[in-house]
Structure 1
Amino acid sequence: MSTSISNELLLGALENVAVISTTDLQGNITYANDLFCKLTGYAREELIGQPHSIVRHPSVPKAVYKDMWDTIKAGNIWTGIVPNVGKGGGVYVVDTTVQPLRDEAGNINAYISIRRVINDLMENFEAVEFSKEQFDDYYAN
């Protein structure tokens, strides 16, 4: 007997843990999942059509976003860890992956951002430091 999980169940599980949004080519939000709305304090209607920079934390250097745009416009996947800010000023830190979406002809027609909130890691620096040491030790040899 084979165990198969439907795409619907997989997507449902992803929606519960990942902050997901899509944008048009100019970076205006075209989709925001429930977790994104809950996390930021914005209603979906307040987000759709707005530039994704609505949640940009002012301390993040512009060079970070230039690198992201250069990467995704070239058709590649960008990853990074950045702080964002919600409607009420609350800060949350996300491990972010942004990638282009393509139409049937292979042309980039949108971007998707899938993020995991890592505020818990900010509070558990020892675990992060230990894991980094293991990573460094492994790749140094």
Structure 2
Amino acid sequence: MTQAIQEQIIFGKDVELITITGLDGVITYTNDAYHKDLGYQSNDLVGIKAAELDHLDMPKSAASNFKSKKKHRKSWTAAVKKQHLNDGYYWVKEVITPIYENASVVAYQSVCTALTNIEQDNAERLYAELKENCSILYSWENFYKRFLTYALVSASIFALGLYASFLFSLFFLMPFIIYYCELKKSSTLFETVTGDFEDVTRCIFNKKTVSFQEESTDSSRLTTSATC
């Protein structure tokens, strides 16, 4: 059974989609932009979990990272693909901040604005890679973890070679194995030193050279090189 192709909903760069949620994640308020720009009725979203608006294409690590930020009462910023309840989807830069009252967090405010074409392309590429590789990506994208892995494997082979001399041949092959692994690594989209979802977000919004350029007239895209 083939899945129906969803259409992307586009809204202006100056539009701000604002929601307020309780501590349980249930939406208690939406601003007029949800009605004017997304076609919702005034109370369509009130009473539902904010997480229900997140598209299935979003990597699970995004939700995990948000929960961690929420636990430590910190704001959270990410590129988010949203599911429209009446079909379709839209991409936003979402900033979620805690609302305080008498030094206690009583609610959360979400402010969503449109992504640029460049940011959306970066997000689509990185999130697709995240979903494909799951948590393995974080370990392998982290240079220090790769270096530690190479060192441990080399030391293990050397130690075993003391008891089985034929294993020394594998030890001398390690430089070539490392070279091959780093060559494969260079084809991925970004390098992280923390292994956290924040590195993905920084790459999406701070890429210096990009794979697509925006055109102000018709929003068409031109292919160029892509690195972080």
Q: Considering only CA atoms, is the larger Rg found in Structure 1 or Structure 2?
A: 2
Further displaced range: 19-28 or 87-96: 87-96
Measured in 1, the distance between the counterparts of 2:34 and 2:50 equals 12
Q: CA deviation at 1:69?
A: 1.9
Partner residue, 1:74: 72
Separation (CA, whole Å) in 1 of partners of 2:53 and 2:38: 8
Distance (Å, rounded) in 2 between the aligned partners of 1:119 and 1:54? 24
1:113 to 110, 114, 124: 110
CA distance in 1, matches of 2:36, 2:86: 12
1:1-141, aligned counterparts within 5 Å? 17-104=15-102, 106-118=103-115, 121=118, 122=120, 125-127=212-214
Higher strand residue share: 1
* CA deviation after TM superposition for structure 1 residue 56, in Å: 1.2
TM-score by length of 2: 0.45
Is the CA contact (8 Å cut-off) linking 1:19 and 1:117 kept in structure 2? no
Q: Is the 8 A contact 1:73 1:100 kept in 2?
A: no
Q: 1:45 is paired with a residue of what secondary structure?
A: coil
| Structure 2 residues not aligned, in runs of 5+ | 1-13, 122-210, 215-224
Q: Which ranges of structure 1 fall in alignment gaps of 5 or more residues? A: 1-15, 128-132, 137-141
Determine which structure has greater relative contact order: mean sequence separation of CA pairs < 8 Å that are 6+ residues apart, divided by chain length: 1
- Residue 53 of structure 1 deviates from its aligned partner by 2.0
TM-align CA RMSD: 2.5
Partners of 2:79 and 2:91 within 8 A in 1: yes
1:47 partner SS: coil
* Aligned-residue offset at 1:81: 0.3
Runs of 4 or more above 6 Å deviation? none
Structure 1 length-normalised TM = 0.70
| Percent of aligned positions that are identical | 27
Aligned residues: 114
* Whole-angstrom CA distance in 2 between matches of 1:51 and 1:45: 13
